[in-house]
Structure 1
Amino acid sequence: MLQEYADLVAITGGDAFKARAYEKAARAIGGHPSDVSKLDLQGLREIPNVGKSIAEKVVEYLGTGRVAAFEETRASVPAGVRELLAIPTLGPHKALTLYEELRISSVDELLDAIHQERLRGLKGFGEKTEQNILHGIELMKKAGGRILLSAAMDAAERIVADLSRIEGCERCAFAGSLRRMRETIGDIDVLVAAGRAEPFMEAISTLPYTAEVIARGPKKTSVRTVDGLQIDLRVLPPDAWGAGLLYFTGSRAHNIRVREIAVRHGLKLSEYGLFRVKSGRKVASRTEEEIYARLGLPWIPPTLREDRGEIAAGLADDLPDLITEDAIRGDLHTHTDLTDGLAPLEDMVAAAAGRGYAYYAVTDHAPDLAMQRMTREKILAQREELRALEGRHGRTRLLHGTELNIGPDGGVDWPDDFLAGFDLCVASVHSHFRQSREELTRRLVRACENPHVAIIGHPTTRLIGRRPPIDADFDAVFAACARTGTALEINGHPERLDLGDEEILRARRHGVKFAVNTDAHSVTHLPYMRFGVGTAQRGGLTKDDVINAWPLQRLRRFLRPSPG
């Protein structure tokens, strides 16, 4: 709601400072570690960037579900303009211009206007703008009703917990693309093993977050939550649990490969078990492991089940020993409220130590991101503060780093002599996304060649469903990383998951090492590590591939290689 209001203020030509204030408040409340619905006015005002006026509106919203001042502003903006705002590459000012100048108030009308080249007469619009808008519409349509992995995981874990408490539940888990840790999820498959299905069908139909029952039968019930997410619940006989979990986890292509092997063994595989074709006798069903074993395969982790060679690798006993979250020894890309983070340094350090990390790096932004107002004095003061915290939170070793901005020419913020004082440097692209393919490639390669840059952060810069990856020759970038000993980040923030699994597979073939980080801007972001690890697993990575799964001494050698 707060973010929407910030957009509405911008659309209506309101005070830019006011719009920015609401954006900051939206981020601060979104990253607050406790439940804001339990806070009173004073408690809300203690959240950074939440003043008295915004706190009062939050209280009003939590009490009534609406805010009168927002409703008035919303009513002043045509619904069609608000629809245009859903296009990731179209900002509020351009949306309003399209409405005022051409009376465009829907995506279809906008497409027609682009094809008729009617936008080109508008100030600030040209052929390149048209291409960007078309790409944004394509992104929006591709996302469809899919939601981010994190949102789906939150919903699924809540439902699994609720159903597991029902008497008669022997097993309960989510399956489908969520179990495979896909970056976006269409709907959620939940499985229950129980002797009687009816109690579970009744329960999911009446849970407080169920908005409507789409379909209900003796073995399957589909509901839609208040957030618009579809949940498909299936109840299986306990002795068919393994077969059902395998079948409903997918992917479809993986299941086809497994069924082909079953056929060659004179067997038939369904969600109820593995059966002999001739006699119909069941030979395996209770666990996934016994079904795979009966087909001559090891258990294949769900994150690999995409028909990308995992069956052949399993048959050859060559599956990778995948990285796990337990193997991660530290987070190497995080922020504090010194720049655009939401939590003080000590809170972030304490939360990281609470996760049992052996080491933890703070990497606030460098000065080229002018809005962060970083200076040498500020970053050096932070270093002293960090050193003073060493040993106060268990045995977690603290690393002082920075996230550098990769400029249009591939240069970074600070000179070599100053960079030499950091424990590590992450370098990322934050602007000039529309450079040519050659310029973007050269820019990233030059950053890799900087001897102080240890990690390239969120390498493609994508924001899932909102911003496409930059158009660079990433095979050339991967080769440069392998040559220079620069790690590529797998950014675990669910809006990024960057690198994605397909790029990880390509980069690994070049011999690149990786860092799985959260890019945390609050303590509530540190658990995003699970999503980064899931993405790393989908790319087939092991502990040896991931530098922050290494002991500190080995990590330090990677960060500071010996000259020559």
Structure 2
Amino acid sequence: MARSNDDAAEMLREFAELLAISGGPDCKVRVYEKAARSVAGYPADIAELDEKALRKIPDVGSHTARKILEYFDTGSVGELTTLRKQVPPGLRTLVTVPGLGPKHAHQVYEELGITSVDGLLHALHEHRLRELRGWGEKSEDNLARSLREAHSAGGRVQLGYALDLASQLLYRISGLPQVRLAAYAGSLRRMRDTVGDIDLLVAAVDAEPIMADVAGLPMVARVLAHGPTKTSVLTTTGVQVDVRVVDPSVWGAAMLYFTGSKPHNIQVRELAVRAGLKLSEYGLFDVATGRLIVAETEEEVYQRLGLPWIPPTLREGTGEVEAALEGRLPSLADIGDIRGDLHTHTDLTDGVASLTEMVAAAKKHRYEYYAITDHAPLLWMQRMTTEKALEQRRRIRALERTAGITLLHGTELNIQPDGSLDWDEEFLSTFDIVVASVHSRFRQSREEMTARVLRAIEHPCVHVIGHPTGRLIGSRPPVDLDHDAVFRAAARTGTALEINSSPERLDLDGDLVRRARHFGVRFAVSTDAHAVPHLDYLRFGVATAQRGWAGPDDVINTYSEARLRRFLREKSRALTRR
């Protein structure tokens, strides 16, 4: 279920968005944006807080606190309802266009009368945007590129959003008395980085009440199809959800059938055909007699076909069936193997929680070690200095004495366009761990970007390359890199590549992880957390590692503290010996 903090934060974000669209003052827009970030990242549940307690949350003033209380008391906010009526629905749609944003949406509405995506596309085709104040040929081209990229995504949503929506639906469905089991299947169970339709599977003898309940859920905007055992709905956020009910006796066969990708299912069905069997969502049958052989569990179905159980994250038809037949399935890294998080932020830079709050949250995750890696000076808007970094280090060392967890003082450096980094080698050598990431100039040529990243990899103090391709799913494409050159260098120098667990990044993705493994690359599955709830993103990163066939030994934060420190020391030694 969504946390009350998340609901309130979404309300505040909508306030900021509608104010920006309607031409409200920038200062007021920023107030709501900052409050939304703070509320979303606040570690405690805010639903029971009074106004005085709410005002103790950073960036939440008395005016905002009263709106939050009104929202929890009544389920709506009067001022927000008024704003919604003032903003044309088509204009709100424009805000969802990647690369446009509320202020530019208001501008094209006011100056060109554009109220739809079709109208925006027509204006782009006629090159009318470049004539507006603050626009030009380049910004118009960038918007057109963003629209093309969004179109190529096919209307898919990020994994984290899909999982949250599926969890809310399953919570409601699982509470019905007829339901024995309920779970998500499809690409969501395979933990793909984006999800189209959400597939929910329910085990029950009596399907009719479940179908009726699904059709009447408050988050349902429209019923697309309604049958005795399957109902398809469109949610208020535009995501299609298909709910299927099967008899509990065939649960395993149905889960296998509705989880696997098309290539995986074809391969498994071909195995059945060669054995004189037929596989469907209703079970594994003997073709000659029509007799049901197995159906209750996935393990039984796979076993009868001569296969071990194949983890859902591998079911993509990319060699997992052949590996299973030959006994070569990898032992995958699991969330229980992770001993610490190696990339996190605090409110010293762009995080919203304090050092103490983040460390306390890490301890609740039962981590053996935990790294604080706030931004470095060349990301100038974070206002980091050498003095601030040293003061944070003193605080970390003092906190470590009572925290009951090993704390690593790190930094996230900025890989500049020429590959240079923030601090000199002497100062960088004093950090426990150094992450280096690209944060700007994402459209350099392949040669320039590859040289840029390689220079950081070769630096003796850089242990991890953060979010290596720089992508933001649905809004920013990956940088143009010679991946093989990067992988070879990372393996040779002992530099880990990050699998960033943020659901808007998941970078490296599963395909690149698998490719990098062939070069002997090691990975750091980290959250890049900027708030306490972000530490829970780890499950997305681990799933991505699994999709890349990564085992525990491939992931450096499965190592014991002693082994991790040896790995970090070996980087500088390896380059020093060269």
TM-score range, shorter chain: over 0.9
Moved more, 446-455 or 427-436: 427-436
What SS class does the counterpart of residue 382 from structure 1 fall into?
Answer: helix
The answer for the alignment partner of 1:492 in structure 2 is 501
Once residues 6 and 194 of structure 1 are traced to their aligned partners in structure 2, the CA distance between those partners, rounded to angstroms, is 44
| Cα deviation 1:510-547 (Å, max 9, x = unaligned) | 22111101111111111110011011111111111111
Q: Distance in 1 between matches of 2:277 and 2:545?
A: 34
Q: Does 1:269 align with 2:284?
A: no
Kindly report which structure 2 residues correspond to 1:35-184, keeping only aligned pairs within 5 A, or say none. Answer: 35-63=45-73, 67=77, 69=79, 80-122=90-132, 124-143=134-153, 145-167=155-177, 169-184=179-194
SS of the equivalent of 1:221 reads strand
From the superposition, tell whether residues 69 and 211 of structure 1 become closer, same or farther in structure 2 (CA, over 3 Å). closer
Instruction: Look up the SS of the partner of 1:427 in the other structure.
Output: strand
Which moved further from structure 2: 272-281 or 211-220? Answer: 211-220
- CA 1:62–1:292 in structure 2 vs 1: closer, same or farther (change >3 Å)? same
Q: Tell me the distance in 2 between the aligned counterparts of 1:178 and 1:414.
A: 42
The reply on whether 1:302 has 2:312 as its aligned counterpart is: yes
Matches within 5 A, 1:375-454: 375-394=385-404, 396-454=405-463
Name the CA distance, whole Å, in 2 between partners of 1:299 and 1:192: 21
Give the match's secondary structure for 2:288: coil
Q: Once the 2 structures are TM-superposed, how far is the Cα of residue 159 of structure 1 from its aligned partner?
A: 3.5
- Give distance in 2, aligned partners of 1:468 and 1:296: 41
Amino acid at match of 1:270: S
Q: Deviations for 1:372-399, whole angstroms, at most 9, x for unmatched residues?
A: 21122221111111111224233x2111
Shift of 1:180: 0.5
Root-mean-square deviation (Å): 2.5
1:476 is the counterpart of 2:508:
no
For each residue in 1:300-320, what CA deviation from the matched residue of structure 2 results, as whole angstroms up to 9, or x when unmatched? 110011111111111111111
Deviation string, structure 1 residues 112-169 (Cα, Å, up to 9, x no partner): 2333334444555444333321221123334454332222222333443444444454
- The 3 A distance-change label for structure 1 pair 304 and 84 is same
Cα gap change, 1:256 to 1:158, in 2 (>3 Å)? same
| Further displaced range: 278-287 or 197-206 | 197-206
Aligned counterpart for 1:511 among listed residues 517, 520, 526: 520
Residue 3 (structure 2) aligns with: none
Aligned-residue offset at 1:2: 2.9
Which of 228, 251, 255 is 1:241 aligned to? 251
2:16 to 2, 6, 29: 6
Q: Which segments of 5 or more consecutive residues in structure 2 lack a partner in the other structure?
A: 1-10
> SS where residue 402 of structure 2 aligns?
coil
- In 2, are the aligned partners of 1:430 and 1:461 still within 8 Å (CA)? yes
- Give the corresponding residue for 1:357: 367
Aligned sequence identity (%)? 58
CA offsets, 1:415-461, max 9 Å, x none? 11111111001111112222233222221111111111111111122
Deviates more, 1:28-37 or 1:45-54: 28-37
In 2: Cα distance, 1:552 partner to 1:519 partner: 20
Q: Output the CA distance in 1 between the equivalents of 2:529 and 2:396.
A: 17
Given residue 231 of structure 1, which amino acid in structure 2 is its aligned partner? Answer: V
Change (3 A) 1:258 1:387: same
Letter in 2 for 1:316: E
Is the Cα contact below 8 Å between 2:23 and 2:106 reproduced in 1?
Answer: no
After superposition, the Cα gap between the structure-2 partners of 1:298 and 1:382, relative to the gap in structure 1 and judged at 3 Å, is same
Aligned to 1:392, the other structure's residue is in SS state helix
Distance across 2 between alignment mates of 1:81 and 1:233 = 33
Amino acid at match of 1:148: Q
Could you tell me which residue of structure 1 aligns to residue 353 of structure 2? 343
1:259 matched to 2:275? The reply is no
Distance change (3 Å), C-alpha of 1:164 and 1:458? same
Match of 1:556 in 2: 565
Q: Distance in 1 between matches of 2:383 and 2:136?
A: 33
Work out the CA distance in 1 between the residues paired with 2:115 and 2:285. 57
Q: Secondary structure at the match of 1:25?
A: helix
- Answer yes or no: is the 8 Å Cα contact 1:210–1:224 preserved in 2: yes
- State the alpha-carbon separation in 1 of the partners of residues 22 and 515 from structure 2: 46
- Equivalents in 1 of 2:401, 2:208: separation in Å? 55
Q: TM-score by structure 2 length?
A: 0.90
**Does the aligned pair in 2 maintain the 1:323–1:541 contact within 8 Å?**
yes
Q: Residues 475-500 of structure 1: CA distance to partner in whole angstroms, max 9, x if unpaired? A: 32222222221111111111111111
Alignment partner of 2:533 out of 524, 537, 552:
524
Q: 1:455 aligns with which of 464, 468, 484?
A: 464
Aligned AA (1:366): A
Q: What amino acid is aligned across from residue 427 of structure 2 in structure 1?
A: F
Distance 1:509 1:125, change over 3 A: farther
Instruction: Output the CA distance in 2 between the equivalents of 1:287 and 1:75.
Output: 51
The code of the aligned residue for 1:469 comes to P
Paired residues, number: 563
> Measured at CA, do residues 154 and 8 of structure 1 come closer, stay the same or move farther in structure 2, by a change above 3 Å?
closer
Measure the CA separation in 1 of the matches of 2:496 and 2:537: 19
Aligned in 2, Cα 1:7/1:233: closer, same or farther, shift over 3 Å? closer
Q: Distance in 1 between matches of 2:317 and 2:459?
A: 38
| Alpha-carbon distance in 2 for matches of 1:213, 1:42 | 43
Verify the 8 A CA contact 1:86 1:140 in the aligned structure 2: no
393 and 200 in structure 1: CA distance in 2 versus 1, 3 angstrom threshold: farther
Q: Which runs of 5+ in 1 are unaligned?
A: none
> Contact (CA 8 Å) 2:375, 2:382: kept in 1 or not?
yes
Find the aligned partners of 2:92 and 2:347 in 1 and give their Cα distance: 32
State the distance in 1 between where 2:118 and 2:128 align. 14
Kept in 1, the 8 Å contact 2:343–2:371? The answer is yes
Write the distance in 1 (CA, Å) between the matches of 2:268 and 2:455.
45
Distance in 1 between residues matched to 2:505 and 2:186, nearest whole Å: 21
CA contact (8 A) 1:351 1:523 kept: yes
Deviation at 1:92? 4.1
TM-score (norm 1): 0.92
Greater CA drift, 382-391 or 144-153: 144-153
Matched residue of 1:451: which SS?
coil
Question: Structure 1's 276 and 76: CA in aligned 2 closer, same or farther, altered over 3 A?
Answer: closer
Q: Structure 1 residues 75 and 171 mapped into 2: Cα distance closer, same or farther (>3 Å)?
A: closer
Which shifted more, 454-463 or 52-61?
52-61
Distance 1:450-1:18 versus aligned 2 partners, 3 A rule: farther
